[in-house]
C-alpha cells in the first residue's frame, strides 16, 4: 500500500497502453493526462513519467516555499495539485502494466507503477509537508475542504509521518516492497492463463455458439482456456463432470505455485509495516481509516451476516442435493466444481428457466447500448461517442458524458473508456478505474471499464450470461460514481477516494436495476430475430436468480473471513490451502475439490488485502439504498436525482457514514438484506395479467 490517502496503488485502476490505432488523427506533441497518446516506447513512457513526477515535486516545492501564515490556497492547493499529478502518473502507469499489448510495455508499466508508488511514499512521509498542512486553520464555512484537510492529516499519521527519521526510512522501504510484490502478484495472474483439452463429447451441454468459437485440431481436440468467457459456460452448462472438475482446478490454480511465495512475502512485509506503525496486525492498520473502524468490528459484521444467512444457505443446499440425487442416484455430495451446474439444472426444473434461453437476448453490443441508455435516464446524463479518440487498443470505445439535469443540461462532465473483451496479456478481471481525477473548472474526470466479456471478434455476437450483464451494471456503477463524484474542488475528493469500504455500495446498488422488466425490455432483443425479451422469461429469470442467495452470501462471508484471517495473524502461521479448506468446510455446504490453490489468483488479496468484507458491508448498504426507489418507476422518479445529489455527487467530500445517512435519513440496517435473501418473485403466470 503506497501512500494511503492517494490510493496510488490500490485504486490506480486496471488501465492500459497498447499500440495506438494508425488511422487516428495527429495529436499534440505532449499530453500531460494521457501517456498512451504521445508515448509509444518504453523510453518515451519514462520521459512522460519523469515530467509528471517533476510537476508533482514542483508543487511540493511551492508548498514548502510559503512564508507567513498557512492557508488553504497557499498550502492545501499545491498539495492537492501534487497529489493530482501522482494520481495521473499512477493511473497511466497501471494502464500500461495491465493492458499493454507487448510484454516489453507491460514490464515498463510495472516499473513505472513502482516508481510512482515510491514518490507517493516519499510524500506521505514528508514531515515538513505534514507540518505545513497541520498549520492550516480548519475552515469553518467550507465543510468539504475541512473534511479533506482532516482526512489528509489522518492518513499522514497512519503513514507514520510522526515517526523518527530512521523509522520513516524503514517505512518507505517497506512500502516500496509492498508495491513491487503486489504488482508481481497481479502480473503472474495476467500472464498465467492455462489451457484445458477436451473432446467433442466432453463439450456436451455447452451452447452451440461457444463450441463454434473453439475449433478442434487435426485430432479433434478442442483447447479451452482459463479466461472468463471460456470458464463459466463449462461450469454452468457442461454435462461432463470431469471436464468441469478439470476446468475448476485449473481456474482455481492460476499463478500457482509462484504466487504463494509472492503472497507470503507480501504478508510478511505488510505485517512488518503494521508493527512498525504500532498495530498488532496488518488488518488493524487497514481498517483504521475505514467506515468499519477496526478488525474487531469486521468480525462482528461477518458474524452477523453469517448468522442471518447460514440457515438459508443450508436449506438451499439440502434442496439442491435432493434434486441432484433424484437425477443422479447414489450421489453423496455436491462439489465446488459441480455446484454451478446443479444450480443451473435446479433452476431449470424448479422455475422452468434455462440460462441458455436468455443468452440470445444479451448480445454484447445491445447490452452496452442498453446500459448506457439506462444510466442516462437514471443519472440524468447523456453519452456521446467519440470515434476519433486516440485509444490504446482498437477495441476500446470512448464516450463523453454530458449533464442532462435541469439547469445544467449540456455541461460536459467527463469521458469514459470501455475496454471490454479479452486479449493476450490483458488484465483478466472485471474492474472500473479512474484515468484522470476531476477538479472543478480545471480538469474533467475520466474513467474506464476493463472487462473480459464474450464478443469483440468478427462473427461473434458476444452472447452474455445474465450474470455477465449484472457484472456490467455493477462496474458501470463505479464508473458513474467517479464521473459524477469528481466534480468538486479537490482532486483528492473524487468518487474513488471515498472510504474503501463504501466504494462498492453504488455499484452494488446499480446491479439491482437488472431485475426490472421495463429496463430489460428496453435493450434485451434476440440478436437474430429482434424479438424483445418476453416478460414470461424475465419473470422466470428473476425467480430463478433469487434462488441461492443464502449460499452466495455465505461465499462472500467466506472470502471476507479468509482475507481477514491471513492478515490478522503471524504470517508464519498462515497456510493458504489449509486455511481455505477450513473456511470452505465451515461456510460452504459444497465439498472442496482437491488440487485447487485459490489464494494464488485471489487478486483482492493485494488490493483490498484484509478488507474484502467491503463487498458484504456494501451489499447491506446497497440493498438499503435500492429499497428507497419506487419499484414501478426506478429511473424517472424523484429518488434517482436525490440519490445522485446525496450519494454520488459529493464524492469523498463527506464521511461515507454521512452519505448513507443523508440518503436514508438514518444509518443502514440489515432489514433490506434479509428481505432480499429470502425474496421470492411472483410466479411467472402472476405477472402476465
DSSP-based three-state secondary structure for 439:
strand
Residue 458 — left, alpha, or beta (φ > 0 → left; ψ -120 to 50 → alpha)? Answer: beta
Is the pLDDT assigned to residue 146 strictly greater than 50? yes
Alpha carbon distance 414, 215 (integer Å): 42
Measured CA distances, 249 to 127, 337, 427 (Å)? 49, 8, 20
| Domain spans of the chain, in order of start | 35-124+126-159, 195-251, 360-550+614-687
Cell triple for 78: 499545491
Contact 21, 391 (CB under 8 A): yes
For the record, the C-alpha cell of 650 comes out as 459529493
The tens digit of pLDDT for each residue in 49-58 reads 999 999 999 9
pLDDT tens figures, 619-640 = 999 999 999 999 999 999 899 9
Question: 28-32, 191-195, 295-299, 662-666: which has the minimum mean pLDDT?
Answer: 28-32
Burial level of 81, CB count in 10 A (0-12/13-18/19+)? buried
Peptide bond into 359 cis (omega under 30): no
- Cβ proximity of 604 and 500 under 8 Å: no
Angle at 268 between CA 267 and CA 269, to 5 degrees: 95
Quick: pLDDT tens for 222-259: 999 999 889 999 999 999 999 999 999 999 999 999 99
Grid cell at residue 74: 497557499
- pLDDT tops 80 at residue 5: no
Quick check: bond before 257 cis, omega within 30? Answer: yes
**Other C-beta atoms within 10 Å of 36: how many?**
26
> Phi then psi for 525, rounded to 5 degrees?
-130, 145
Could you write out the DSSP letters of every residue in 470-526?
Answer: HHHHHHHHHHHHHHHHT-SS-GGGSGGGS-TTTTTHHHHHHHGGGG-HHHHHTT-B-
| Cβ contact 658:609 at 8 Å | no
Pair type for strands 412-419 and 446-450: parallel
Indicate if the pLDDT at residue 680 is higher than 80: no
Asked if 668 and 621 touch (Cβ cutoff 8 Å), the reply is yes
CA distance 443 to 321: 56
Q: Which fold has domain 360-550+614-687?
A: 1.10.1370
Rg (CA), the chain: 25
pLDDT, tens digit (0-9, with 9 covering 90-100), for 74-105: 999 999 999 999 999 999 999 999 998 889 99
Report the predicted TM-score, pTM, of the whole model to 2 decimal places: 0.90
Closest of 542, 496, 494, 659 to residue 12, by C-alpha = 496
Rounded CA-CA distance 594/655 in Å is: 44
What CA dihedral angle connects 354, 508, 418 and 357, to 10 degrees?
10
The yes-or-no verdict on residue 684 having pLDDT over 80 is no
Among the listed residues 358, 353, 331, the one whose alpha carbon sits nearest the alpha carbon of residue 343: 353
| Lookup: cell for 89 | 502518473
Contacts of residue 200, defined as CB under 8 A and 6 or more positions apart, other chains included, come to 211, 216, 220, 222
Mean pLDDT over 193-218 rounds to: 95
The CATH superfamily of 35-124+126-159 is Endopeptidase. Chain P; domain 1 (1.20.1050.40)
Q: What's the CA gap between 143 and 493, in Å, rounded?
A: 12
Alpha carbons 509 and 505: distance in angstroms, whole number: 6
Residue 427's pLDDT is: 84
Q: Where are the beta strands (DSSP E) in 239-288?
A: none
Weakest-pLDDT range from 95-99, 263-267, 479-483: 95-99
3-state SS, residue 203? helix
Which stretches does DSSP call E strand in 160-211?
195-198
Confidence of residue 688 (pLDDT cuts 50, 70, 90): very low
SS3 379: helix
Amino acid at each position: 500500500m503506497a501512500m494511503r490517502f492517494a490510493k496510488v496503488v490500490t485504486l490506480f485502476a486496471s488501465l492500459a497502453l497498447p499500440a495506438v490505432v494508425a488511422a487516428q488523427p495527429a495529436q499534440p506533441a505532449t499530453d500531460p493526462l494521457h501517456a498512451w497518446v504521445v508515448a509509444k516506447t518504453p523510453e518515451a513512457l519514462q520521459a512522460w513519467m519523469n515530467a509528471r513526477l517533476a510537476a508533482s515535486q514542483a508543487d511540493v516545492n511551492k508548498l514548502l516555499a510559503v512564508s507567513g501564515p498557512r492557508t488553504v490556497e497557499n498550502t492545501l492547493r499545491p498539495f492537492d495539485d501534487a497529489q493530482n499529478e501522482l494520481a495521473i502518473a499512477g493511473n497511466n502507469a497501471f494502464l500500461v502494466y495491465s493492458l499493454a499489448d507487448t510484454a516489453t510495455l507491460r514490464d515498463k508499466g510495472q516499473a513505472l507503477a513502482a516508481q510512482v508508488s515510491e514518490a507517493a511514499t516519499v510524500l506521505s512521509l514528508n514531515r515538513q509537508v505534514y507540518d505545513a498542512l497541520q498549520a492550516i486553520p480548519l475552515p469553518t464555512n467550507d465543510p468539504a475542504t475541512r473534511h479533506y484537510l482532516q482526512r489528509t492529516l489522518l492518513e499522514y499519521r497512519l503513514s507514520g509521518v510522526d515517526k523518527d527519521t530512521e523509522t520513516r526510512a524503514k517505512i518507505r522501504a517497506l512500502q516500496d516492497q509492498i508495491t513491487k510484490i503486489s504488482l508481481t502478484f497481479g502480473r503472474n495472474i495476467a500472464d498465467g492463463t492455462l489451457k484445458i483439452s477436451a473432446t467433442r463429447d466432453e463439450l456436451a451441454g455447452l451452447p452451440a455458439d461457444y463450441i463454434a468459437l473453439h475449433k478442434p485440431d487435426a485430432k479433434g481436440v478442442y483447447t479451452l482456456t482459463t479466461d472468463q468467457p471460456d470458464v463459466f459456460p463449462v461450469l454452468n452448462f457442461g454435462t461432463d463432470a470431469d471436464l468441469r472438475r478439470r476446468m475448476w482446478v485449473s481456474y482455481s490454480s492460476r499463478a500457482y505455485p509462484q504466487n504463494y511465495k509472492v503472497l507470503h512475502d507480501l504478508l510478511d512485509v505488510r505485517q512488518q509495516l503494521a508493527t512498525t506503525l504500532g498495530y498488532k496486525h496488518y488488518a488493524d492498520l487497514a481498517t483504521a481509516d475505514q467506515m468499519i473502524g477496526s478488525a474487531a468490528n469486521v468480525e462482528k459484521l461477518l458474524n452477523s451476516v453469517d448468522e442471518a444467512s447460514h440457515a438459508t444457505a443450508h436449506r438451499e443446499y439440502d434442496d439442491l442435493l435432493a434434486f441432484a440425487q433424484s437425477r443422479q442416484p447414489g450421489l453423496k455430495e455436491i462439489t465446488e466444481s459441480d455446484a454451478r451446474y446443479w444450480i443451473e439444472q435446479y433452476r431449470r426444473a424448479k422455475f422452468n428457466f434455462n440460462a441458455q434461453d436468455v443468452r440470445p437476448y444479451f448480445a454484447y453490443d445491445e447490452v452496452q447500448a442498453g446500459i448506457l441508455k439506462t444510466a442516462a435516464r437514471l443519472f440524468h446524463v447523456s453519452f456521446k461517442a467519440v470515434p476519433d479518440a486516440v485509444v490504446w487498443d482498437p477495441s476500446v470505445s470512448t464516450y463523453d458524458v454530458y449533464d442532462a439535469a435541469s439547469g445544467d443540461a449540456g455541461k460536459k462532465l467527463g469521458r469514459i473508456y470501455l475496454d471490454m473483451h479479452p486479449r493476450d496479456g490483458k488484465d483478466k478481471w472485471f474492474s472500473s478505474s479512474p484515468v484522470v481525477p476531476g477538479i472543478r473548472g480545471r480538469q474533467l474526470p475520466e474513467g474506464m471499464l476493463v472487462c473480459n466479456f464474450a464478443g469483440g471478434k468478427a462473427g461473434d455476437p458476444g452472447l452474455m450470461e445474465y450474470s455477465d450483464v449484472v457484472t456490467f451494471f455493477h462496474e458501470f456503477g463505479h464508473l458513474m460514481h467517479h464521473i459524477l463524484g469528481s466534480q468538486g474542488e479537490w482532486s483528492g475528493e473524487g468518487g474513488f477516494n471515498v472510504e474503501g469500504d463504501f466504494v462498492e455500495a453504488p455499484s452494488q446498488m446499480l446491479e439491482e436495476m437488472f431485475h426490472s422488466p421495463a429496463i430489460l425490455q428496453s435493450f434485451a432483443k434476440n440478436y437474430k430475430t429482434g424479438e424483445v425479451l418476453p416478460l414470461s422469461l424475465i419473470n422466470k429469470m428473476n425467480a430463478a436468480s433469487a434462488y441461492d442467495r443464502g449460499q452466495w452470501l455465505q461465499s462472500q462471508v467466506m472470502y471476507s473471513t479468509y482475507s481477514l484471517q491471513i492478515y490478522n495473524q503471524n504470517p508464519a502461521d498462515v497456510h493458504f490451502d489449509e486455511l481455505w479448506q477450513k473456511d470452505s468446510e465451515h461456510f460452504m455446504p459444497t465439498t472442496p475439490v482437491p488440487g485447487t490453490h485459490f489464494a494464488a489468483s485471489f487478486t483482492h488479496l493485494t488490493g483490498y488485502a484484509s478488507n474484502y468484507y467491503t463487498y458484504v458491508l456494501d451489499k447491506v448498504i446497497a440493498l438499503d439504498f435500492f429499497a428507497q426507489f419506487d419499484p414501478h418507476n426506478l429511473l424517472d422518479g424523484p429518488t434517482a436525482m436525490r440519490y445522485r445529489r446525496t450519494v454520488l455527487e459529493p464524492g469523498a467530500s463527506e464521511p461515507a457514514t454521512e452519505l448513507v445517512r443523508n440518503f436514508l435519513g438514518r444509518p443502514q440496517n440489515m432489514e433490506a438484506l434479509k428481505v432480499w435473501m429470502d425474496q421470492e418473485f411472483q410466479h411467472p403466470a402472476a405477472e402476465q395479467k
